[in-house]
Each structure stands twice: as C-alpha cells, then as structure tokens.
Amino acid sequence: MNRSTLNGVKTALLLGVLWAVLLGIGGALAYATGSWMYIIVFGVLGLGSTAYSYWNSGKLAIRSMNAREVSEAEFPWYHQTVRELAQKAGKPMPRLYISPTPSPNAFATGRNPENAAVCVTEGILGLLSERELRAVLGHELMHVYNRDILTSSVAAGLAGIVSSIAQLFMWMGMMGGNRNNNSNPIALIGMLFMALLAPIAASLIQLAVSRTREYDADHDGAELTEDPLGLASALNKISGGTARTPLKETPAMDSVSHMMIANPFAGKGRALFSTHPPMADRIKRLEEMAGY
C-alpha cells in the first residue's frame, strides 16, 4: 500500500472514529433522557450547518481574506500556470484570487472542481520563485480534486454536533442527572466526564483529518507538477515567512486557517493541536519522493 492510499485509509478510519464518538455520546444522552428527540434535533442542526458551510465555503474564505478575483490580463503567469496544471489533471479551470496580505500563504476552496477557487497572498507572490509558486499551486489544486473541502466540512460538522450534544449533557449533569439514575453519583460523574472528554476527542480527530489531507495534497501536488523539491523549497520559505509575519488570529481567520498551505498563526506548532503537520516532516517526505 503506497503512502497516498494509506493516508486515504487513515482519513476514512478517523471519520469512522468521529462517527463512533458521536454515536456514543448520542446513545448516552438518549439513555439519560429516555428519548431520542435531542439526538434528532442536534443532528438536523449539525447537518444543516455542515451543508451551509460546505456550500458557501468558497465565498466565506475569500471574504475572510479580503481577496479579489484577478484576470489573465493582470496576472498572465498565474492564469497560464493554473490552466496548464488543471488541463494536465483533466479538471476545469478554477477562479483565481489574490489577497492583499503580506503573510505568505495560499489556499484553495470550493465545493467541487467545477466551483473551485485558488487564492494566493501578495506575500507569497513576493517570496517564492515561479518554480516554487507552481509547486504551491499544484498542492492547492489537489485539495480541490481530492474533495478535501467536503471531507473537512463533514469532520467539522460531526465535531460540532458532538460539542453541542456534550454541552447539553453537561447542563443536564449540573442540573442533577436524569430520571433513570439521578440517585447514582457514579452515573452523574460519568455523564460529566463524557461531556468534557467527547468534544476534546472530536476536535483532535478533526485536526488529525486535516493534517492527513495536507500530507496527501503535498504528495499528489508534487506528482501533478513532477517537482517535489520545488514544493519542499516553497514550504521551507513559507515557514520562515509566516513566522516573521503571522496573521492576527480572529474568528474569521480561524475559519479559513485550516485551508492554507501553512499555519498562518504564531506559536501554534505543536502537532497534536495543529491543523497542519510539522513542516519538517512535510519537507522530509517530499525529499524522499525525489529520492533524497
């Protein structure tokens, strides 16, 4: 089994574990209340928010970065390079944007290849060579072609449902338990314990899904451009650039940060709690692809 296939299996397993966490806390809540009504309500709300996020992810991300769409007359190399890579992959040409942000970064978004957008910052345009930029664009296109927006939306939606149900569970525990075991202190402690741990577990799984998809985009993007060393060099420069000029962490930036090729915030390098794999690991994998 090659590394790309292994990452796909890992993603499926992580989503399966996330579903298991959801079913576990849902079953516990149903037992505590004697009714499945709460699960249905939270499930519908969660699915609705996931669908909205998935359908509008492109607009929300572009708006968060204050990006503008650019024409081929303005940036001919940008359009020509993306068109070449899209044609090589047999996919439609995405819309192209530039964000007036000095921090070097890039992201792709859109619910499918037919409604995709690629955005680069002014910072990355000034930092990387054309070879490195081409490698970055290949990485971003593969996020769209691998349907990573759908995967991340499902993971975020499931994690959100778990967190919402856990909050209700916590409220019930603080109110004194439930009709079935309100006299059982061990059951009450168990409810509170699950209400605290389930959202943490769901968030960690969601982050692990994001990191796995990042590895896949590196690998598949390097295959598309046939230049893993170009992407390795780009990631090395971007890592230094984001450290020097990090983005300010806001709710709007939080919503798009997981889509970017590198974590845009300062002081968030710990792998377990990061949306991105360690940069050194990513560069090492790319160098191994090139036979180094």
What pLDDT score does 112 carry? 82
2-6, 29-33, 51-55: lowest mean pLDDT where?
Answer: 2-6
Beta strands in the chain (DSSP E): 68-69, 95-99, 106-109, 117-121
**Token duo for residue 257:** 């940060």
Question: Could you read off the pLDDT of 86-95 as tens digits, one per residue?
Answer: 999 999 999 9
Is 223 a known active-site residue? no
Q: Which residue has the higher pLDDT, 75 or 248?
A: 75
Provide the residue count of the chain.
292
Annotate 153-168 with DSSP letters as a single string: HHHHHHHHHHHHHHHH
Average pLDDT value for residue range 182-200: 61
* Whether pLDDT at 224 is above 90: yes
Q: Residue 260 pLDDT > 70, yes or no? A: yes
Arithmetic mean of pLDDT over the chain: 80
Structure tokens at 193: 């314990």
Which is more confident, 75 or 272? 75
48, 161 in Cβ contact below 8 A?
no
Cα 22 to chain centroid distance, Å, stands at: 19
pLDDT for 138 equals: 97
pLDDT of residue 259: 84
- Closest by alpha carbon to 266, among 285, 283, 235, 241? 241
| Rounded Cα distance, 94 and 106, in Å | 14
Percent of the chain beyond pLDDT 70? 64
Q: What would the pLDDT profile of 194-209 be if each residue is shown by its tens digit?
A: 667 666 766 776 677 7
pTM score = 0.77
**Which of 140, 214, 226, 249 is an active site residue?**
140
Model pLDDT, residue 148: 82
Give the mean pLDDT of 167-177. Answer: 61
Mean pLDDT score, 185-195: 60
Please give the pLDDT value at position 162.
72
Q: Between 201 and 121, where is the model more confident? A: 121
